Structure 1
Amino acid sequence: MADLILRYWQQILRWFKVNQPAFLDALNTGASQQQVEQLEAELDANLPNDLRAFLLAISGEKTDNFFHHLCTCGILPFHGDLFSIPEILKQRQHHLEHDVALNYSKDFQKMAAVYQSHCPEVKPVSYDPLWIPIGGDPGFNIIFIDLNPTSQGVRGQVFEHCYEIAQRELLASSLTHYLKQYADGLSKGRFYVEEDNHMLVVYDDHTM
């Protein structure tokens, strides 16, 4: 699994090297083994092998870097940045402090029913401590790796939570599968890059 995810990641990097190299300039180097172990210690859980391999290869991105007077909006197609491990820990702490308490509020119970009907693979809670935020636009869209799914899901599945419209969507059964879908979509033209207000943005043609 670890070898597969790196193969798909390299396919993605090759596409951007040919088509939009500005995105590559924004990528950080991989995390250290110590940082990965720190994340596992905070979670009190082992990371999926593919996520571990991915974090060791790439640890976040800095999309405020300019390239020919343009900046990028995240290399993956969720209009946000990949998080480094320090950023993952910061985002996780924010969710622990602000979202876990909502699990027990009466107001949230209505939303929980909606989440469960639309995304039954993910537990219908505001936040679970075993959801790992790996990227996104904080406050709007966050991509999570789910280490504590429902009986209908699988450990390591990838889902997106859109806070702006209170919506969840299962994206893939694993990070490896998610990157495979993306690599395939880039090669087939489903995903493409356009300039939007002096920013290079990855878009998804859902019709393909």
Structure 2
Amino acid sequence: MQEYWTRWENWMKQYAPKLLTILNSGVSHEVLESLEKLIGKAMPDDFKAFYVVHNGQQRVRTGLVDADQLLPVEDIIEKWHYWQDLLDAGTFQYNGEPIASEPDTGIRNNWWNPLWIPITSDGFGNYHCIDLDPAPEGTYGQIITLWHDDGHREIIAPSFREWIAQYLDAVERGDYIFVKKWGIVSKDTTLNYND
């Protein structure tokens, strides 16, 4: 997975050198093991290999993934606990029945599932997650969307590796640009460039 970081860092050097300063150093195997122990499942090998190089990004407004933050493992654990606390409190039930989402084929129709592991955050309660409990038509480790106020759940990529590869292909192709306030964003963004 080093090759993907090399590509991403090379792009940053050319178009957004300040982003290099918000990359965290690699995560330890012990921290990865603490995440796996918490969720009771192994994270995909590609995810672990990627995070050994850089443990996501620092907590700043500027995002690396279409204006979203690439969460470090410590924040992944924090976000997981947040959603788990909501689940335990019965937040995702109405009149004793689970609130269903509107998922793509291959995703379970939960509002949130403890095996949906958040890896990006927009800071407003919306995430990309690694799905470790797909529906029968899905793929273990697929990347899905999780919106706090919208029931649609979408498959973004069939694996962590393919998600990163697709995103970096788009970044290198020029589909994304750097905007100082927001970070790497779609060139067709509606975000105000001047803020």
| Residue 177 of structure 2 corresponds to residue 204 of structure 1 | no
Query: Aligned-pair RMSD on alpha carbons?
Result: 2.3
Q: What SS does the corresponding residue of 2:102 show, helix, strand or coil? A: helix
2:105 aligned partner: 120
Letter in 1 for 2:11: W
2:80 aligned partner: 92
2:191 aligned partner: none
| Residue 12 of structure 2 corresponds to residue 27 of structure 1 | no
Q: What SS does the corresponding residue of 2:130 show, helix, strand or coil? A: strand
- Once the two structures are overlaid, the 10-residue window that deviates more, 171-180 or 96-105, is 96-105
2:63 aligned partner: 74
Q: What SS does the corresponding residue of 1:99 show, helix, strand or coil? A: helix
Looking at structure 2, the residues matched to 74 and 162 of structure 1 have their Cα atoms a distance apart, in angstroms, of 17
Q: 2:65–2:185: 8 Å Cα contact kept in structure 1? A: no
Instruction: Rate the CA distance shift 1:19–1:96 in 2: closer, same or farther, 3 A.
Output: same
Residues 33-182 of structure 1 correspond to what in structure 2 (within 5 A)?
33-64=29-60, 73-77=62-66, 79-99=67-87, 101-106=90-95, 112=100, 115-116=102-103, 119-182=104-167
User: TM-score, with normalisation over the residues of structure 1?
Assistant: 0.80
Looking at structure 1, the residues matched to 91 and 64 of structure 2 have their Cα atoms a distance apart, in angstroms, of 32
Q: What SS does the corresponding residue of 2:170 show, helix, strand or coil? A: helix
> Unpaired runs of 5+ in structure 2?
189-195
Q: What SS does the corresponding residue of 2:35 show, helix, strand or coil? A: helix
Looking at structure 2, the residues matched to 193 and 85 of structure 1 have their Cα atoms a distance apart, in angstroms, of 25
Looking at structure 2, the residues matched to 22 and 165 of structure 1 have their Cα atoms a distance apart, in angstroms, of 34
CA drift at 1:189: 1.0
Aligned length: 188
CA drift at 1:166: 4.0
Aligned-pair identity in percent equals: 24
Higher helix share: 1
Letter in 2 for 1:94: Y
> Unpaired runs of 5+ in structure 1?
65-71
Q: 2:111–2:151: 8 Å Cα contact kept in structure 1? A: no
Instruction: Rate the CA distance shift 1:166–1:22 in 2: closer, same or farther, 3 A.
Output: farther
Q: 1:82–1:135: 8 Å Cα contact kept in structure 2? A: yes
Letter in 1 for 2:186: D
Looking at structure 1, the residues matched to 126 and 92 of structure 2 have their Cα atoms a distance apart, in angstroms, of 19
Q: 2:121–2:127: 8 Å Cα contact kept in structure 1? A: yes
Looking at structure 2, the residues matched to 205 and 166 of structure 1 have their Cα atoms a distance apart, in angstroms, of 27
Instruction: Rate the CA distance shift 1:107–1:203 in 2: closer, same or farther, 3 A.
Output: farther
